[in-house]
């Protein structure tokens, strides 16, 4: 059970977009260069964010991406689910139905007890991600990243933002 690397990419990109001044956009090219990622493939992750309405886009030179709403209203779960999908990590194939001791056509009233536990764990995972906002990440980064790196990074970004 391993998340796509696109999840990591999307989270880092959103953290950068959160620091953009209002009304400006940042292109895939800039985001790819900043993180050392393959531009074409990163583009797929950003398209996922766009389809989930987490970001807005504009075309042409000086076009690119910006957040569709304040970073305090975007959760980790929003971003993770946009890229990874909303499907649960455990899929129940109902193997209890193969039990040869079952009467034919017997119908279960509840989902399988095994699945219920696995889904509960899945919910715990999602709840943790739901409680963390993108703005929390930005706060943490602004505390932990050395001020000179933080500053020069956003100078680098602003030079490329449209």
Partner DNA sequence: GAATTAAGGATATATGTTATCCGCGAATGG
Partner DNA sequence: CCATTCGCGGATAACATATATCCTTAATTC
- The residue ranges that bind a copy of itself (CB under 8 A) are 1-5, 7-9, 11-12, 15, 33-37, 76, 84, 87, 89-93, 95-103, 106, 109-110, 113-115, 117-118, 120-122, 124-129, 132, 137, 140-141, 144, 149, 152-153, 155-156
Select 40 or 148, whichever has its Cβ closest to DNA: 40
Which tokens go with 8?
Answer: 């990591």
C-alpha to C-alpha distance for 68 and 76, rounded to whole angstroms: 15
Structural tokens at position 101 = 């001791």
Q: Which does 114 bind (CB under 5 to 8 A by kind): a copy of itself, DNA, none?
A: a copy of itself
Interaction partner, residue 57 (DNA, a copy of itself, none; CB < 5-8 Å by kind): DNA
Min. distance of Cβ 39 from DNA in angstroms? Answer: 7
At 64, is the secondary structure helix, strand, or coil?
strand
Which of a copy of itself, DNA, none interacts with 6 (beta carbon under 5 to 8 A by kind)?
DNA
- Binds DNA by CB under 7 A, chosen from 22, 23, 36, 40: 40
| Per CB under 7 A, 46 contacts DNA | yes
3-state secondary structure of 55: strand
Tokens representing 11?
Answer: 């989270």
Q: Where would I find the H helices in the chain?
A: 5-17, 28-35, 39-51, 76-84, 113-131, 134-144, 147-160
> From CA 67, how far away is CA 55, in angstroms rounded?
4
Distance of alpha carbon 150 from alpha carbon 157, whole angstroms:
11
Of 63 and 85, CB closest to a copy of itself? 85
Residues that bind DNA (CB under 7 A): 1-2, 4-6, 27-29, 38-41, 43-44, 46-47, 50-51, 57-65, 162
């Amino acid at each position: 059970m391993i998340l796509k690397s696109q999840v990591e990419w999307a989270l880092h990109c959103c953290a950068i977009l959160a620091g953009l001044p209002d009304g400006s956009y940042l292109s895939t090219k800039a985001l790819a260069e900043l993180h050392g990622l393959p531009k074409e493939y990163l583009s797929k992750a950003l398209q996922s964010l766009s389809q989930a309405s987490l970001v807005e886009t504009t075309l042409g030179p000086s076009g690119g991406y910006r957040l569709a709403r304040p970073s305090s209203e975007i959760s980790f779960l929003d971003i993770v689910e946009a890229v990874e999908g909303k499907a649960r990590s455990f899929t129940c194939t109902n193997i209890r139905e193969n039990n040869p001791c079952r009467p034919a056509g017997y119908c279960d009233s509840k989902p399988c007890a095994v699945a219920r536990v696995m889904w509960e764990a899945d919910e715990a995972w999602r709840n943790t991600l739901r409680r963390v906002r993108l703005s929390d990440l930005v706060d943490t980064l602004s505390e932990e990243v050395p001020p000179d790196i933080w500053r020069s990074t956003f100078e680098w970004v602003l030079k490329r933002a449209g």
